């Protein structure tokens, strides 16, 4: 299969170079936008967002016992606990749809049920406190409240539907005897493991903390001004924990596991970002599908407008917080309130790049179901909200 994949990409690159009309100004501009988006992503997200997320995923796979994952996220775990924890995870992890992927892959491959895992996958980027506050501040408190409530409900519903649709496969995947290490074998307490994982999460949060807008509260401005000092302190604490609490073999396994996730996710992510940039471009920079064309299709509150907004949001890549100024411009161009919420609920949680990566973890069948669930729920929520606001 690996050789076939290599052959596929060689043929695809050759056909693209042969048939794509690069002499056309629009196509040439779209190609430039593809690489400009990749550059923007590399500069703003790889080091501060993705790299810490990969190390967290590696730590989950190596340091977190399978017993702990199965206890809270496993297919046989108590649904109230599993979905409650998964659905509000975004309030802790202020990450974008691509940064959450290594974390999702980590808990899923460690034995989490597909329901709680996909609930976590949706909630990670969707329930971002700073983004919700910014939404309420710029787009109105009604939109901010609707986004917060909708995201929590969506995470639970999406997880429950996925668990129902793939219950047989999930039971087969988690069946059998698992080796569950005792705490004494590791030489660390559960509290030490929790403190180490919490430190990694805080490193991700502070390293990825985006510059607040001029309208943001003073607290966010203060946190941004000290983010690198806090991050440096957390890195020092993490280093001490690694030396004091973990064996050399465990540290090596952590690095190997992190590298495994990077090899799996980075290539697909780069391809997806290039494709999204080529088709949709960056905000304010036209590509094959210009922004004003999207705005013309999402006016009013019809089923088509909400569905189109959901699908467009699912395909477009939004860096954390960028969806708010984009929607501000689209609303100013005539976008309806319902489609705006639909895009807000589908956009941050999905993108063309992360669909490719999710498929690498779950397979295309489960990925298609997850995407369809999010799009349908976003469309319904948009229509309801648009009706209320009208």
Note the pLDDT tens digit of each residue in 237-247. Answer: 999 999 998 88
Nearest-5° Cα angle at 62, 108 to 53: 65
**Phi, psi angles (nearest 5°) of residue 128:** -95, 115
- Token pair of 145, please? 């409240």
What number of CA atoms fall less than 13 Å from residue 42's CA on the CB side?
11
For residue 214, what is the DSSP state? Answer: T
Interval 274-307: pLDDT, tens: 887 888 777 667 788 776 776 678 878 889 999 9
For residue 92, what is the DSSP state? Answer: T
159 or 68, which is more confident: 159
Interval 37-90: pLDDT, tens: 888 878 877 777 778 878 887 887 777 665 666 567 766 667 787 788 777 766
Confidence of residue 215 (pLDDT cuts 50, 70, 90): low
Q: How many helices and strands, by DSSP H and E, does the chain display?
A: 21, 0
Alpha-carbon distance of 136 to 148, in angstroms, equals: 10
Handedness of CA 329, 330, 335, 339 (dihedral sign): negative
For residue 213, what is the DSSP state? Answer: P
């Amino acid at each position: 299969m690996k050789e076939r994949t290599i052959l596929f990409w060689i043929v695809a690159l050759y056909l693209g170079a042969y048939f794509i009309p690069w002499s056309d100004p629009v196509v040439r501009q779209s190609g430039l936008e593809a690489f400009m988006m990749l550059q923007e992503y590399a500069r703003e997200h790889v080091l501060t967002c993705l790299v810490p997320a990969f190390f967290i995923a590696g730590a989950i796979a190596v340091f977190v016992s399978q017993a702990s994952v199965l206890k809270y996220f496993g297919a046989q775990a108590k649904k109230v606990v599993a979905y409650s924890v998964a659905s509000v995870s975004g309030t802790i992890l202020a990450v974008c749809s691509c940064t959450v992927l290594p974390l999702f892959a980590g808990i899923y491959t460690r034995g989490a049920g597909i329901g709680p895992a996909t609930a976590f996958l949706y909630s990670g980027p969707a329930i971002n406190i700073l983004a919700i506050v910014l939404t309420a501040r710029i787009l109105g408190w009604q939109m901010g409240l609707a986004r917060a409530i909708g995201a929590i409900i969506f995470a639970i519903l999406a997880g429950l539907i996925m668990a129902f649709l793939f219950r047989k496969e999930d039971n087969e995947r988690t069946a059998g005897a698992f080796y569950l290490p005792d705490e004494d074998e590791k030489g660390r307490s559960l509290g030490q493991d929790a403190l180490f994982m919490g430190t990694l999460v805080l490193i991700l949060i502070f390293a990825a903390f985006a510059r607040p807008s001029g309208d943001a509260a003073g607290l966010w401005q203060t946190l941004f001004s000290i983010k690198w000092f806090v991050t440096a302190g957390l890195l020092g604490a993490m280093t001490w924990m690694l030396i004091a609490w973990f064996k050399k073999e465990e540290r090596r396994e952590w690095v190997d596991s992190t590298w495994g996730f990077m090899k799996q996710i980075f290539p697909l992510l780069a391809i997806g970002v290039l494709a999204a940039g080529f088709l949709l471009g960056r905000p304010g920079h036209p590509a094959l599908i210009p922004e004003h064309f999207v705005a013309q299709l999402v006016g009013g509150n019809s089923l088509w407008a909400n569905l189109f907004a959901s699908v467009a949001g699912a395909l477009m890549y939004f860096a954390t917080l960028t969806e708010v100024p984009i929607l501000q411009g689209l609303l100013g161009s005539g976008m309806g309130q319902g489609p705006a919420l639909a895009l807000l609920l589908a956009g941050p949680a999905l993108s063309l790049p992360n669909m490719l990566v999710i498929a690498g973890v779950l397979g295309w069948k489960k990925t298609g179901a997850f995407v369809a669930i999010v799009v349908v729920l976003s469309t319904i929520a948009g229509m309801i909200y648009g009706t209320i606001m009208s």
